[in-house]
Structure 1
C-alpha cells in the first residue's frame, strides 16, 4: 500500500505516529516527508493491516491536520524491513 498524506503533517510528529501505528499492526515500510509538504507512506503486510493503517491515517486521531489521503495498492516490493521514518 502506498499513501500520500496531504495537510499540515510535517513537523508535528506525524511520521513517528504513523510508524507507531504501523508497528502495532505488524507492517513494514516507511513514512517520508516530501518537499511539497506531503508525507509518503509505504506499508507492506496483510491487506487487513494495510487497510487499517489507511483508516487510521484518515481517522483524525493523528498529530497535525490531515486534509486528504490518496492511497494505491501496488505489488509488494518484498525488500522492506522494519518501519522507518525518512
Structure 2
C-alpha cells in the first residue's frame, strides 16, 4: 500500500498545480487522486485477468469513460460544501 499511497500523494500534488483544482483543499485532492489511481489499478488487474489474445479495448474504453466521469464530476465539486449542489 505504500507505493499506492505515494502515487496518490504525487497525483494530488500535480492536480493542485492545475488552475481548476487550486481551490480544492488538500484532503479533497487526495480523495480525487485516490479515485483516479484506484481506477487505473483496477484496469491493470482487469487486463492481467484477460485470457491470452483477448481484446482489451473494451476495458480500456470503460476505464477512459470512468476517468472522464471522475474528472468532470470533480469540476462540479464544491469543496466548501462537500458536495455537488442539488438541482
Report if TM-score (shorter chain) is over 0.5. no
Query: What TM-score do you get using the length of structure 1 for normalisation?
Result: 0.34
Whichever of the two has the greater Rg, that structure is 2
Higher relative contact order (CA 8 A, sep 6+): 1
Query: What TM-score do you get using the length of structure 2 for normalisation?
Result: 0.33
More strand by share: 1
More helix by share: 2
